[in-house]
Amino acid sequence: MDLYESQYPAVISHNLMQILRLISGGVCLTLLCLALWKFPLSSQFIYMTHWGNHLGIYSNFIALYLGRKKGSPVAIKEAKGIYQVLLILMEFAMIMQIMIVVVYWPFVHKSVIERCTVLGTINDKWFMFTTTHLHTFPFIAVLINTLITKFQYNYAHYKYCIYIGLFYSVFNFAGTMHLGRPLYPFLTWTDHWTLIILVALTAFACSMYLGIAYLINRTKKN
């Protein structure tokens, strides 16, 4: 992991890389502020979308901070302390954003529009702007940081997908009970299918992690 020199130094200088990280983190932070303005505070804890946006903020700004001075590259298996934290944040920021985009647009967006129409929030331009772009811009921001930063995935970290899946299941259940309705139309907590779908999504996340790790590690130099 080298946070000072970009993955493509001939094209992206150190200063440009830092600017891109600042813009990417700034976009995610702006969406956080909009979400705090337009949505209940509880949404930050119970929706996977907001978890992903937080990872985008933390991973970009920590990389920005650590990349401000030239230092010796850190081997992935030797990453410790803040570097280990950043590595995990960057790995799962990308995985979570892919999951958000893949799940939201085909399976959730239609029901969100229908609910907003019933509640009248469809006419609130800032509410709809935030709702829509929380499922787009953080993905782009995280993708940029992933592509320009010289790092590789640690295959062994795939197991964290299981821990995150279990942890989020608890928050999803609590959120469903808190709101009195499913957070997502396919996770109703009324029958065994909710658990089956959660297991399937976790297995998909593990497989995707290993696939993304393979692609990143094959195409990048550490």
Low-confidence residues of the chain: pLDDT under 50 = none
pLDDT confidence of residue 1: 86
What pLDDT, on the 0 to 100 scale, is given for residue 22?
A: 98
Model confidence, pTM: 0.94
What pLDDT does residue 26 have? 98
Query: Residue 57, exposed/middle/buried by CB under 10 A (0-12, 13-18, 19+)?
Result: buried
According to the model, what pLDDT value does residue 75 have?
Answer: 62
Tell me what pLDDT residue 121 has: 95
Q: What is the pLDDT of residue 81?
A: 87
pLDDT of residue 220: 83
> Any idea what DSSP says for residue 71?
-
Distance of CA 109 to the CA centre of its chain: 18
Residues counted in the chain: 222
Note the pLDDT tens digit of each residue in 83-118. 899 999 999 999 999 999 999 999 999 999 999 999
What is the residue-averaged pLDDT of the chain? 94
What whole-number distance in Å separates Cα of residue 66 and Cα of residue 56?
A: 16
State both tokens at 53.
């946006």
> Which residues, at least 6 apart from 116, have a Cβ–Cβ distance to it below 8 Å?
122, 127, 128, 131
Dist. CA 190–CA 40, nearest whole Å: 24
User: Please, is 171 exposed, middle or buried when counting C-beta atoms within 10 Å of its C-beta (0-12, 13-18, 19+)?
Assistant: middle
Q: What are residue 4's phi and psi, to 5 degrees?
A: -95, -45
E runs forming strands in the chain: 2-6, 149-150
- Tally the C-alpha atoms within 13 A of residue 107's C-alpha that lie toward its C-beta: 12
